[in-house]
Amino acid sequence: MKIHADFLDARPRLARPLAAALWCAALAAALAAAWLGAEVLEMRAERPQLEARLARLEAQAAAAPRVAGPAAHELGALRERVQALNKLAGVRGWSTPQLLDWLGARLPESVHLVSLQHRPREGEALLVAESASAESLTGFLLRLENERRLDEVLLSKQGTVGNAGAAAVQFEIRIRWKS
C-alpha cells in the first residue's frame, strides 16, 4: 500500500491566463515607456533650434519701433462711438434659434408652421401656420397678442388650402418685437 500526499494547493484555473495578461500589460507599459523616451529625445534635439528662433524673435521685437497708442480719454471716446454704432447696426429682435425655441413653446399641437421669414435686423418675422380648425389658429393668434415682448401682431392673410374633403385653414401672421 502506497500513500501519496501532496501538501500544495491546486493551482486556480485562471492563474495561467491572468499571468499571461499581466505579462502582456507589462510589455505594453515597457513599449509605451520606450516610445515616450524616444519622444523626449526628439524634443531635446529640437530645443536648440527653438531657443535660437526665440532669441531672433526677441531681438526683432526689441529692434522694432514702439508705436504709441492713443491716450486713455481718446480710447474711452472711441469705445463709446463703437458701442453706439453697434447698437444701430445690431440685431433688434431675437436670433433665429431663439425665435424657433419661443415658437415651439407656444405653438399648439394642432397648428403646424408652414414657413417662417425671419428678419432680425428689422425686428420682425412673418409666420405662415395652418391647422384643420380655425379655433386653434385663433387661440395661437391670441397667445401672440398677449405676449408682452411683442410690439405688434398682425394677421396679414387668412384662407383655406387643400381640397374640400381635407381643407386646412392657413394664417399669415406678421410679428414685430419691442425695441
Count of domains for the chain? 2
Q: What is the pLDDT of residues 96-150, one digit of tens each?
A: 888 888 888 888 888 888 999 988 878 889 999 888 888 888 888 888 888 888 8
Q: Say whether pLDDT at 89 is over 70.
A: no
CATH number at residue 114: 3.30.1360.100
Last residue of a domain, one of 6, 40, 56: 56
Asked whether residue 139 is assigned to any structural domain, the reply reads: yes
Residues 101, 49 share a domain: no
Q: Map grid coordinates 421669414 to a residue.
A: 117
What range does the domain containing 115 cover? Answer: 96-177
Q: Say whether pLDDT at 24 is over 80.
A: yes
Asked whether residue 171 is assigned to any structural domain, the reply reads: yes
Whole-number percent of the chain with pLDDT over 90: 29
31 vs 15, more confident: 31
3-state secondary structure 48-92: HHHHHHHHHHHHHHHHCCCCCCCCHHHHHHHHHHHHHHHHHHCCC
Q: What is the pLDDT of residues 57-88, one digit of tens each?
A: 999 988 887 777 778 888 889 889 888 877 76
Residues 105, 49 share a domain: no
Residues 100, 52 share a domain: no
